Structure 1
Amino acid sequence: MRINSKCLNLSLVLGLAACASSGAPAPEPAAPAEAAPEPAAVSSSALGFTSAQADRGRDVFRSACTTCHYSEEFNDQTFKRSWRRSSAGDLYDFIATAMPEDAPGSLPPAQYAEIVAYFLQMNGFEAGSMELPADADALSELSLAPLGG
């Protein structure tokens, strides 16, 4: 009985090996997926603000906003999580209609756009050669998704 069980086991192993082999060469292993490069900064062509506009925004922020706010509030993780699903138009509209708190909408539209440019620059968006328009509808096409967070 012992011989029969060895023969049976050998037959099963050989039979399974024959079924598993199709005679075709084994497929080549897939090339490892390349990791996506880490984005250093967002391209200016997507957002269109200038360094000069962001600098003016910093100056406006310092004169009109620092009574209540610190610059660091606008490039921390809370800010990024809050705005990453929004557009630059949403941010512009919020600032232009709610700030400064004691006189909402009191700044010229261009200054609100300058503040948005300043916030974008603080968050790693690269400046380019075109200024952000002072128009929430035009800015609504500009996603803040690269903020991540």
Structure 2
Amino acid sequence: MSKLRRPEGSARTRRDTAAGLSATVFTVALVLVAALPAKLAAAEQLFTETQAARGERAFLTNCAGCHGYSMISIFARYRNAFDYFGVISTSMPWEDAGALPIQDYIDIVAYMMRENGYASGGAELPPDRAVLEQIQP
């Protein structure tokens, strides 16, 4: 007795091929996610919600009068958070550049991070060049 073979392109063959392809795509996705730089994961939780709220108050008090909310999208144009921090801490507010406490400037950076989609975490963003250089808006 001869064995019956399914014709190529049968529903079962297509289903088996689709299942194999899905498993391959899933495996590749897992490998890619595992390969994400650790600094990206860390940067997404480098500030607290309390710090971002302080930054929002500092921004509204010292920046929004001239810049409105346009600075939120401008943050993304900087190479990293240190560059942004450097500009705002040395040249803003324009009438008294660099006059705010360093903590206000770093809190504003935390606010910009929150507004640009970073998740808050359990530790405050420090005014640390090495940390800030790793954060790419």
TM-score between the two structures when normalised by the length of structure 2: 0.65
Give the greater-gyration-radius structure (CA).
1
> Which residue matches 1:70?
68
Decide whether the 8 Å contact of 2:75 with 2:112 is kept in 1.
Answer: no
Tell me how many residue pairs correspond in the alignment.
107
Decide whether the 8 Å contact of 1:44 with 1:128 is kept in 2.
Answer: no
- The runs of 5 or more residues in structure 2 that have no matched partner are 1-16, 30-39
2:124 to 115, 124, 131: 131
1:85-96 equivalences in 2 (<5 Å): 86-96=79-89
1:7-26 equivalences in 2 (<5 Å): none
Residue 108 to residue 44, structure 1, CA distance change in 2 (3 Å): farther
Q: Which has the higher helix share?
A: 2
Residue 139 to residue 79, structure 1, CA distance change in 2 (3 Å): closer
Distance, in Å, in 1 between the alignment partners of 2:120 and 2:98 is: 26
Percent identity over the alignment?
A: 33
> Which residue matches 2:53?
55
- The runs of 5 or more residues in structure 1 that have no matched partner are 1-27, 37-42, 145-149
Distance, in Å, in 2 between the alignment partners of 1:137 and 1:105 is: 21
Supply the RMSD in Å over aligned alpha carbons: 2.7
TM-score between the two structures when normalised by the length of structure 1: 0.61
